[in-house]
Structure 1
Amino acid sequence: MEKFKVGMVSLGCDKNRVDSELILGTINKYYEITNNPKEADIIIVNTCGFIESAKQESIDTILEMARYKTDYKCKMLIATGCLTQRYGDELLEQMPEIDILMGVNDYMKLHKLILEFIKEQKQISSATYSDLSINEGERILTTNTHTAYVRIAEGCNNFCTYCIIPKIRGKFRSRTIESVIKEVESLSLQGVKEIILIAQDLTNYGVDIYDGKMLHKLVKKVSEVENIEWVRLLYCYPEEMYDELIEEISSNNKVAKYLDIPIQHISNKILKLMGRKTSKEDIINIIDKLRERIPEITLRTSLIVGFPNESNEDFNELKEFLKEYKLDNVGVFSYSQEEGTPAAIMNGQIDESVKESRLRELMLTQRKIMLDLNNLKIGNIYDTIIDRSNGEFYIGRNYMMSPEIDNIIYIRKTNKIKIGDVVKVKITDIQEYDLVGDVIDESGK
């Protein structure tokens, strides 16, 4: 019998991407995978449910994919991910287009659920809430073949007042060092050169299964895997940074001198309302410490504007902080009032127009900072990984750039390189956020 074809739409963060790759890995032996939804007999939408805009995108995507059931050959629409975990049967009732609904703990059941739907031809709900295992297994990479995300922990224990993730993903739990290294070794054999370690909170890795924080030891072991050239760290809480980790980043040539440290705000009043376990003074101290110990460090952060009770003074304090500390990459988000979180019922909610105005103002501030920083890079030479080609240019990244969320380098075409290579590139110009450069040889020509 001909295999059903399965298409996947993955929304949200890189942790969701790993889940999508695991889903494809679990069903690959039973079904044919396709990138074209017009060819798919089964379409899976891996949703995001973090903030209002993400929820709406997930709902819109489910409805869009449902049209393939009437206009093309799709026989089954499956929804999974954070949105389905958060709303469960309520979502199934409101969206009869969904045939199978799964939570974030149910991926290994997918083939069984598909067979059940084929037999019964009625909606199936399978969003379990008690299983706190970590999804692991074979993956089908959806990234470039030279880059892969590796999730080293699941869940979160921070309980920030604006965030629903602990209720969706559960308590923080680490994978063992052995399981992570086994996965990295497998990815290396597939041609992966860049490993991006991810978790909701990387810096607490190991506290639940080992005697204290173990990220520095894990990073060292990952960097020792044959053919791995770059190791990158995402989502390190600033208050959890510790000396052994800083030393490993500083001294290990394979570790990108790059950290994503989610600050969210700088006003002590707002940090306290957010339930953050840090202060303005502590954040500034860790930035200064990182820049002193790792002079070439690139710092990325995310900020929230319009949090309940954020005054003009609080906002201006945040803006002045950006101007003074000149972080390399900044994502700015308007506060989203999420039901089920303490912040959603706080007094002092901010008008949407004020949120949008503050977001624009902060982004304009950061735009000027990035232009100034980029101008300083002209003439510099960077090791650069080649991600793709747009026909006219190769597109690459240096250690300062994470895929898809940061800026890029446009590299003039040459026969010397191919996609996946790590080459030396001299920066010759800037295009606002992005850089332009040429490949050079070891002699600088």
Structure 2
Amino acid sequence: MANPHLRALLRWRKWAKKDWAIAAVGFTLTVVFALSLISDSRRRVNGSVTNPSFGLSQNDDLVDLTLLRNAKDRGAFCLDGSLPGYHFQKGFGSGSNNWLLHIEGGGWCNTMSSCSQRKMTALGSSKYMDRQIRFSGILSSDPAQNPDFFSWNKVKIRYCDGASLAGHPENEIKKGNKLFFRGQLIWEALIDELLSIGLSEAKEALLSGCSAGGLATLIHCDAFRGLLPKEATVKCLADASFFLDEKDILGNNTMRSFYHDVFQLQSVMRSLHRDCTTAMEPSRCFFPAEIMKRLQTPVFLVQPAYDFWQIQNVLVPEGSDPQGHWKRCRLSISNCDTDQMDILQGFRNSFLKSLSEFRPRREVGQFINSCFTHCQTWMSETWHSASSPKINKKTIAVAVADWFFDREVVKQIDCPYPCNPTCHNMDFTAIY
């Protein structure tokens, strides 16, 4: 029987040819990483994957899924009307009163059709969610993998609304193929439940998220700070979430158009800062650069300068390369020719320029490496291990902890590709 991870990837490849490619790409990030996080030189033997369980420690605890108890009364539903969920692992010892929340990623849906497809997956329905998952990386309870946060109360928030926990029900269709756009209500119900089981007494707290979950982190960061004790240390971390408002290789604003559709479909405006939505075209306030301009809470950005998701969906989206000149480059940065690398370097420069506005702010931490990857905090292999990506000999975990505990100002900006030999660069060529 074929590997179930591979079957999922093949389904994703088929979906990606539809008009909802950007949403579909995000669906299987977890599968992609578990199967395919590939170093240029370490993991390929005769074209095959050498360790299909890469990044998952056998010692990590399995953590049960909890469905929100108050969700039905609050009207907080996943896309299909099922109850949202989370995984909770109680803290111990010195971490008993500290909390780490991590919002999973998984793209967005921008049409009724794509949201209807999405509700048949774990990213739109708790019916399809694993009842147990392993905590690793930033959620690990192993001090060797997670030296500063291992003993904290840890929560993985499942993502099932398709709009970064920011949607509102105004555009729901009451008959026919029912979809629930309740992201904001899910967020509020979830936080209320966590407050009732100890979060309200937190001494230290870190709200984090990956990809679309990192965007949700930025959207809700200040509100999260406002719900916790004034004397608590509260900060936020966004991993692979700084999505750019850049033109693609044909000069089209593909990502801006896509975000506009998500914004309109799920009535996201009410979850965004009014100062922004009244100052410009409102859907542009869904971009992280605009959100961060108004954030008051300290935030840390973990971001690959060559984010494969953004290269494949913002810079070279499906349909922008009908002749297939970019096919091999999109699958592995090592396949890019000189002209393509020049364009990728320009994309990196645009990213760094967008970040430059925040560099003077001491409370904004940055770890920007030169890897062809996406999320890096949720797996031990890239969060903190002997072979993790490093900048100036520091892993992501060490850099984040130095920032969180105010050990030092952290502004780690890597040199351009291919300068960093510690990168785990994704390579999809064996799969496609």
Q: TM-score, normalised by structure 1?
A: 0.37
Q: TM-score, normalised by structure 2?
A: 0.38
* Larger Rg, first or second structure (1 or 2): 1
Name the structure where strand makes up a greater proportion of residues.
1
RCO (CA 8 Å, sep 6+): is it higher in 1 or 2? 2
